[in-house]
Amino acid sequence: MVNPYLLLACGVGLVLAAVGGYHHGVTTAEDACIARAAEAAHAAAESARLDAEAESMRRAEESARMAASAAASREARLKGQINALKSAPRPDCLLPADRVRDLNDAIRAANQLAAPERVPDAMPVAAAAD
């Protein structure tokens, strides 16, 4: 006959092995689940980083295109202004003709020797005021 303590020891050993195996399986599954979640999070972060890099490059290229376009537009505008200034006749005076005539008459009158408001060449000698 078989010793009952031996059977009990084998039963306890089998139960402990089963519990240990179950625990090992659960923790392994949890670790695998956590690892899959971490991989998914890493993949999402990597995808977001790549998208951000692509968006940044697209914006930089668009900014460069816009700057080049603005520079070309500015250059064309300045060339047009320079060409307009070169080809346009330059006026002698920006005043209307009647204002120029009045100004010339005033200068001529001021330069006349007989003009009463003209300052004399020498100051008259007067008694010194104390």
pLDDT of amino acid 88: 67
Neighbours of 67 (CB within 10 A): 10
Element (H, E) at 27: helix 4-87
Per-residue buried b or exposed e for 86-118, using 16+ beta carbons within 10 Å of the residue's own CB = eeeeeeeeeeeeeeeeeeeeeeeeeeeeeeeee
Mean pLDDT (10-residue bins), the chain, 130 residues: 87 92 89 90 94 94 93 90 75 73 84 62 62
Three-state SS string across 45-102, please? HHHHHHHHHHHHHHHHHHHHHHHHHHHHHHHHHHHHHHHHHHHCCCCCCCCCHHHHHH
pLDDT of amino acid 118: 58
Which distant-in-sequence residues (6+ apart) come within 8 Å of 109 by Cβ? 115
Distance CA 35, CA 30 (A): 8
pLDDT of amino acid 112: 72
Domain ranges in the chain are: 4-89
Distance CA 45, CA 47 (A): 5
pLDDT of amino acid 12: 92
pTM, to two decimals: 0.41
pLDDT of amino acid 90: 60
